[in-house]
Amino acid sequence: MPVGIARTEVVCPTGSTLREVERSLIAAIRSATSFVYIENQFTSATKIARELAEQMLRVPSLRVVVVTPKLHSSWLESQAMQNGRGAFIDCFSSAGIADRIRFVYPVSGNGDTEAAVMVHSKLMIVDDLILRIGSANLNNRSMGADSECDLIFEATSDEHRNFIASVRRRLIAHFCGLDEQTVAQNDDRLFALLDDVSREGGTKALRDVESSVLTSALATMVQPVADPERPLHLERAASRMWSTKTIIGMVSIAVALCGLAMAWSYTSLSDFADAGRMSTLLSAYSQSVWGPPFAIAAFVVGGLVVFPVLVLIAATAAALGPWLGFVTAMTGVVLSAFVLFAIGRALGRERLQRLLGRRTARIQERVVGKGILAVVVIRMIPIAPFSVVNVVAGASTLPLRDFLVGTLLGMTPGILAMAVLGAQIADLARNASWVNILLLALAFLGWLAICAGAQFVATWLAGRR
């Protein structure tokens, strides 16, 4: 039997793309006169849908069956591909030929229990004359962005055609729990046969795909990236993004932040970075309902100008008392961290993702659920100014959830100690003993164990999702 090879291959960013898969699909569809059978994991290439709809309008006797999954497995697939499938199906509804095409998904049952069967195949049979099977999905990526290879078998004799017809009938029979002969006897009423099998409630059937699972508003943002019609060429975009001017700007921001941090410690500004002075300022509002909001605002503003966060914590505890001071300081720290994290993400995340290109998704998969303990350690043993850490974290791929949880866990012991045990900690510093040092070390290790436990729980939950 003659065999053709159809490829999709991106030659180079500036060169042409081999689109043999798309061209051969369109050619096969335009030759269809009676029946097209498709099995495919994804159906989102609306160009192919429009070609098929136009051929069905030209040939009123043409019928189509598409076997596809009921749902897609991951969040990205469900948002991008299922929404694309909705647009794919709409092409036939808009053309007024939805009654001649069936979108179905396979199920397997045992008593009252039934489960949808995943469809991963990429296969198409046209008029029992053409059989194609390979790697290409009916989505935009396979038409022009990914590397694909399909084999196309073309019947040149009755023997060839009978074999392809047998393949089609055996596939349908497999999904419906029937034999090949039964399908062959019902070729003229295939849609009715599928409905009969579905109503009988046997162990296998092909059910109609429900329109309610096909659309998602969020997919309008996800689909252009997840299912592009052309290569994104992220490396080339990154080279344009990271120009000399951009690099100078980012370095200038980093230098300015570090310079501010040093200014509060080694210049005349250090007179203002005094816990006593800040405590006196906050005490004026300590008896007012505006005391805590004013202190929280001070944390946010202080974070923006890289004011020493420890001074603000100590001043808040002294002015508002241990418990109200603790709650206020913790709220201020988390809100300040969030604001600076958001600024860092706005400044750097897009550039970082463009720079990493295709590697970004893999890196993010490894980072998600695994960054809490790192943030905790940095918070408990500060190796850089609070504000600088927040901005740098925002510019990375660290998830916001891990950042906030790590900040909360890492800052809590220090804030709690300064709010409740300020005098005792100072006395320990003046009268250190091996017993006191040992107790402090055990307390530190105990808190680290709690943080590690939180890290384990977060990783476990991420794995379950």
222 and 273 belong to one structural domain: no
Which tens digit of pLDDT belongs to each residue from 253-273? Answer: 556 656 655 665 566 655 555
Work out the average pLDDT over 53-57.
96
Give 125's strand partners: 37, 131
Query: Which residue among 226, 246, 276 closes a domain?
Result: 226
Tell me which of 15 and 54 has the higher pLDDT: 54
- The single-letter DSSP state of residue 33 is S
Average the pLDDT over 22-49 and give the result: 95
Max CA separation in the chain (angstroms): 100
- 36/366 Cα distance (integer angstroms): 42
Which helix (DSSP H) or strand (DSSP E) does residue 249 occupy? helix 244-266
Last residue of one domain, picked from the residues 175, 195, 226:
226
How would residue 98 be classed by pLDDT, with cut points 50, 70 and 90? Answer: very high
Whether 317 and 405 share a structural domain: yes
Same domain, 178 and 277: no
Q: What is the DSSP string of 187-211?
A: GGGHHHHHHHHHHHT-SEEEEEPPG
18-32, 108-122, 350-364: least confidently modelled range: 350-364
> Is the domain of 323 the same as that of 447?
yes
The reply to whether 165 and 272 lie within a common domain is no
Q: Structurally, how many domains does the chain consist of?
A: 2
Q: Please tell me which residue, 309 or 463, carries the higher pLDDT value.
A: 309
Same domain, 183 and 247: no
Q: Percentage of the chain surpassing pLDDT 70?
A: 57
Quick one: DSSP state of residue 420?
H
| Domain, as residue range, for 96 | 3-226
Q: Of 97, 37, 35, 106, which is closest to residue 65 (Cα–Cα)?
A: 37
Give the pLDDT confidence score for residue 413 in this predicted structure.
72
Residues 390, 306 share a domain: yes
Mean pLDDT score of the chain = 75
Q: Do 343 and 409 meet the contact criterion of CB atoms below 8 Å apart?
A: no
pLDDT for 154-204, tens place per residue? 999 999 999 999 999 999 999 999 999 999 999 999 999 999 999 988 899
- Residue 212 has a pLDDT of 47
Same domain (yes/no): 240, 203: no
**Radius of gyration of the chain from its Cα atoms, rounded to whole angstroms:** 32
Does one domain contain both 342 and 214? no
Q: Residues in the chain, how many?
A: 465
CATH of the domain at 216: 3.30.870.10
Assess whether pLDDT exceeds 80 at residue 64. yes
Q: Which of 286, 277, 285 is nearest to 315 (CA)?
A: 277
Same domain, 63 and 205: yes
Which residues have CB under 8 Å from 50's CB, separation 6+?
91
The reply to whether 280 and 186 lie within a common domain is no
**What pLDDT is recorded for position 285?**
57
Mean pLDDT within 443-449: 61
Q: Does 99 have pLDDT greater than 80?
A: yes
Domain boundary among 205, 226, 247: 226
Question: Binning pLDDT at 50, 70 and 90, where does residue 65 land?
Answer: very high
pLDDT higher than 80, residue 47:
yes
Say yes or no to pLDDT of 107 above 50. Answer: yes
Query: For 343-356, how does the pLDDT look when each residue is reduced to its tens digit (9 = 90+)?
Result: 777 766 555 444 44
204-208 vs 101-110, strand pairing mode: antiparallel
Helices (H), 95-228: 140-144, 158-176, 180-185, 190-200, 219-226
Give the pLDDT confidence score for residue 350 in this predicted structure: 54
Gap between the Cα atoms of 20 and 6, Å rounded: 5
At 410, the pLDDT band (50, 70, 90 cuts) reads confident
**Based on the domain organization, do 262 and 217 belong to the same domain?**
no
